[in-house]
Chain A
């Protein structure tokens, strides 16, 4: 039996050509990649240096501006002082004064009844203590106060009604 002869030369030549091409592509590709990467790295370093420069310049400018602000600190202190005091005054004058309350209560009292104490509570309410030896007059006054619930005062709360040892009736109401 004759052995089969296969001519391998064309295959070897083809493989050689493929390998040559592969070598060319790999070499060229890696060189392009290397060059590109080097450019990228250089750009990155430049970016960092530029940013550091900008940062240094900004910090230097901040220091200079702070010095300028410091030289004008007197004006700032005065402006802050005026502003804070005005805010506080605005807050204080927004609170209702005692004079309108006094007038309103004075109008509600009937003959024989006097107010003894008017106190502004910390929650904004007003505590009024009335005194009279005439229980009827006291009742009428209370009725008058209740009638004003929707006008002068939004809320009226009877806190106590007592009779003292001197025979005087004391009525304490909370107004709001």
Chain B
């Protein structure tokens, strides 16, 4: 087969100027589909991720500043106070001591104290389950009604750990009141985890600060640096 060069030369002369534009337009279309659009998509996704990461970094930085601002000594003192007011474990000894102090101050006679603490603490105190009703304590006491009222007030408002009166039963006998008091000695197990590392550190509100100041005298003299430092606070690796 013989190539008709004259024919092709004529075609080239007539339509040759279309070659470059068509090539360029084809390249633009192919590059847009194959490179441009995927790159734009991935870069936009990356920008979104960067935005999220920047926000996280800002939260972490804010948290670092807040943590560095905390006075460690004061914080330890606060922990000790709060641990006395609302223990992390079922403080049987503390409850008995508090009830005894209240009885001595109010002038009532404690006939008996029954406790059913159940599980006190396991290997990790953080795993102790919180019950809604606290640790149940039953106290039988005798005394004048005024003294009994004072004892109840002391139990509810003055002694530590915090206790709530759930039920009272009894009556007057020969001028003296004989009562059975059901109490709930409150406790709050340690949190199992501190949550995400970038979770903001929430400070105390004004009400909470005022409440803490009211609780300080109630807790009495506290010593810091207790064995609480050794208590595992849930997940020790915050990065997980």
Interface residues, chain A, with chain B CB atoms under 8 Å away = 19, 22-23, 26-27, 29-31, 33-34, 37, 40-41, 44-45, 47-48, 51-52, 54-55, 58-59, 61-62, 65-66, 68-70, 72-90, 92-93, 95, 97-99, 102-103, 106, 114-120, 131
Contact = CB atoms under 8 A, between A and B. Distances in A.
A56 to B, nearest CB: 10
B186 to A, nearest CB: 6
24 contacts: A19-B17, A26-B18, A30-B20, A30-B21, A31-B24, A51-B50, A66-B238, A73-B194, A75-B67, A75-B70, A79-B70, A80-B194, A80-B201, A85-B86, A86-B212, A89-B82, A90-B211, A92-B162, A93-B162, A97-B152, A99-B149, A114-B172, A117-B167, A120-B167
B165 A98 contact: yes
Contact of B64 (A34, A65, A84, A106): A65
A78 B75 contact: yes
Contacts of B239: 66, 70
Given A26-B20, A89-B162, A97-B152, 11 more contacts: A29-B21, A31-B24, A58-B53, A62-B57, A69-B64, A73-B233, A75-B70, A75-B72, A79-B75, A86-B82, A88-B86
Contacts of B57: 58, 61-62, 65
The B interface is mostly helix, strand or loop, or mixed, namely helix
B166 A119 contact: yes
Interface residues of B, number: 80
Interface string B110-136: 000000000000000000000000000
Contacts of B64: 65, 68-69, 72
Given A79-B75, A84-B188, A88-B86, A69 B207 contact: no
Q: Which 8 residue pairs spanning A and B have beta carbons closest together?
A: A23-B17, A30-B21, A119-B167, A98-B165, A65-B60, A85-B82, A30-B24, A72-B67
B67 A69 contact: yes
A76 B149 contact: no
A65 B63 CA distance: 9
A27 B25 CA distance: 11
Given A27-B17, A89-B162, A76 B157 contact: no
Nearest to B237: A70
B156 A97 contact: yes
A88 B186 contact: yes
Contacts of B166: 119-120
Contacts of B67: 69, 72, 75-76, 79
B157 A97 contact: yes
Interface in B189-240: 190-191, 194, 197, 201-204, 207-208, 211-212, 215, 229, 233, 236-239
